Amino acid sequence: MSEASALRPAVEAFLEKLRVQRRCSPHTLAAYRRELRVLLDWLEGAGVETWTALDAGLVQAALAAGHRAGLAPVSLRRRLSAWRSLFATLVEEGILPSDPALGLRAPKAARRLPQVLDVDEAQRLVELEADDPLAVRDRALLELFYSSGLRVSELCALRWSDLDLEAGEVRVLGKGRKVRIVPVGRLARQALERWRDERRPAPADPVFPGRKGCALSPRAVQKCLARRARQQGIWKRVHPHLLRHSCASHLLESSGDLRAVQEMLGHADIGTTQIYTHLDFQHLARVYDAAHPRAKRRSGS
């Protein structure tokens, strides 16, 4: 942040609290810092010198400046969320008498549904012909990704000691350093056992190493998926989160158990998981339109 002012020490203390107490990732901290820098720069430009001078009108004007600059609704909502987190902390610490963003609404963002592979596409992708050591690794990677719905960062961090193939489980360190146990499907277990037999690894070795033996990076996994998708004749843009979305959508479609899918994916808020119910409804709507006699259009109409 730029020149120090009376407003800035409280922000730095808040960011340190996020880092130490809430254990936010460097990426999350950087995002908070960016949004709070915008707020501080705007307030200082408006001549605001103390937090007690902040009111709802000033916060609304600061947010409106972003709107005039062409920020999308989703970016404005993210910005306001970061500011609200700061204000809540300042109220708790007695620096602010009340939350100046209370009642303030950011513009609604259109909800974008995630793309998914259909079941046939997912099956075609993971059934890679494992005819060399690299293909054996990639088959195991694809099977586990689709079987367990991991985040790419979770997949890259896996060590063999995290896997219990006999029990069909994997221990995952997720967001906020929360540990969860995720099931591993039968075919994924078989692919992982074959990969283990190929490597004979130590428990501390990464499950998916690159050429130099270090764990694959998220970027390397992304390139791997794109290459294997083309090889398998899938021309959608296949990326790590697409496999996670596909796993969640197919599991929910089959089971209808939203809470179980939430736990498996490691979502803190079930509202995040509920987006897959919209995907499931879209599938139902397409089936209905194609099959129900009262939904079909008459030919020539």
H-helix or E-strand containing 181? strand 179-183
138 and 26 within one domain: no
- Determine the 3-state secondary structure of 172 from DSSP: strand
In the predicted model, what is the mean pLDDT of the chain? 80
Q: What is the mean pLDDT of residues 204-224?
A: 92
282 has pLDDT over 60:
no
165 has pLDDT over 60:
yes
268 has pLDDT over 60:
no
Is 244 marked active-site?
yes
Q: How many CB atoms lie within 10 A of CB 281?
A: 10
**What range does the domain containing 53 cover?**
8-92
* Domain final residue, candidates 52, 74, 92: 92
Whole-number Å distance between alpha carbons of 51 and 6:
8
39 found inside a domain: yes
> Structure pTM?
0.55
The CATH number of whichever domain residue 70 belongs to comes to 1.10.150.130
Catalytic residue among 67, 175, 194, 239: 175
Tokens found for residue 110: 């259109």
Q: What confidence category does residue 279 fall into, taking pLDDT thresholds of 50, 70 and 90?
A: very low
237 found inside a domain: yes
Whole-number Å distance between alpha carbons of 163 and 144:
11
234 and 195 within one domain: yes
111 found inside a domain: no
What angle is formed at CA 138 by the lines to CA 132 and CA 143, rounded to 5 degrees? 125
Is 151 marked active-site?
yes
Q: Which residue has the higher pLDDT, 283 or 59?
A: 59
125 and 240 within one domain: yes
100 has pLDDT over 70:
yes
Is 276 marked active-site?
yes
- What does the pLDDT look like over 1-39, one tens digit per residue? 433 467 888 889 999 988 888 888 888 889 999 999 999
98 has pLDDT over 50:
yes
106 touches 77 (CB < 8 A): yes
Is 196 marked active-site?
no
Number of domains composing the chain: 2
Is 267 marked active-site?
yes
Catalytic residue among 227, 241, 278, 286: 241
Residue 267: DSSP 8-state: -
